Amino acid sequence: MIYTLTMNPAIDYVVTVPDLLKGRVNRGESRGFSAAGKGLNVSLALKRLGVESYALCTCGEIEREKGNLTETFLQLLQSSGIRSGLFNIKGSDTRINVKVHSGGEVTEINGDFYVPEEDSADIAETIIRMVKKGDFFIIGGSLPNGIPCDFYANLTENLAEKGAKVFVDTSGEPLRRVIQTGKAFLVKPNRHELAELFGLNSEAISTPEDAVTYGAKLGCNALVSLGEAGAVFVNGNDGEEYVYAAENKIKNAYTVGAGDALLAGFVETFIKTTDYETSLKSAVKFAESSLVLKS
């Protein structure tokens, strides 16, 4: 079984504005809504690859006389067609993120979501009971407010002890804590997140060679996404490394969501082949096919 976990899901409101003018009225050319979050995005990408997964995520539970964001989120999640299991958080409403596409750039305005710390213990306990030896468990995205930064690390340790392969795509201190456990099967930072781990400028890791150098220092399998440049895989056990660049250099594209497609493509091929190099090559090709061209 493949599970994905999204602790901080959202409704993504995506709008395209020809020329965004600060402090002025802007009219969008197109818009769309979707149930989003890294784990959910990976499940959606796996679905496109014909692979079934079970998407676990938190969900607001708040009573109002009229509709709320959670109702909209549930409708969007159901329409996505992926199997899902929800952890209902009483007193919290699902957040909304706004993504504005304009002038070849994406401007994001992300909302907040709160999960009480006591709820996180119940969530972890439920997951640990559910997952079995040989399962693949993919953790994606940031932690919501209220959850301790070692939540992913503790969950990774417990699931690894049960014999599950744990893949982690997060950033900052939660990622650092996961790496320190030495129990993650694979972590997937992008080049900016990898630089942050080492206290470097966000642009310090700009080449595959840089990614290999620092990825090898993590002490675990690392899949480093480089946007339009492809990706790097470093084997944390023997230092073996592979580099793949996108075959068709698509320069005029948004890379939002490509990292989720990269991870999904890697997992889909690794399940069939258990070969790192083949999995990386397939992952890069799938991520490349998922890029959205800029207007």
Give one word for 81, left, alpha or beta, with left for phi > 0 and alpha for psi -120 to 50.
Answer: left
Give one word for 274, left, alpha or beta, with left for phi > 0 and alpha for psi -120 to 50.
Answer: left
Q: Look-up: residue for tokens 């930072």?
A: 189
SS3 call for 64: coil
Helical segments of 162-275, H only: 172-181, 191-197, 208-215, 258-273
Tokens representing 19 are 């020329």
Catalytic one among 150, 169, 260, 275? 260
Tokens representing 195 are 């630089």
- Rounded Cα–Cα distance for residues 231 and 224 (Å): 6
Check if the beta carbon of residue 289 is closer than 8 Å to that of residue 258.
Answer: no
Active site residue 135: no
* Residues marked as catalytic: 260
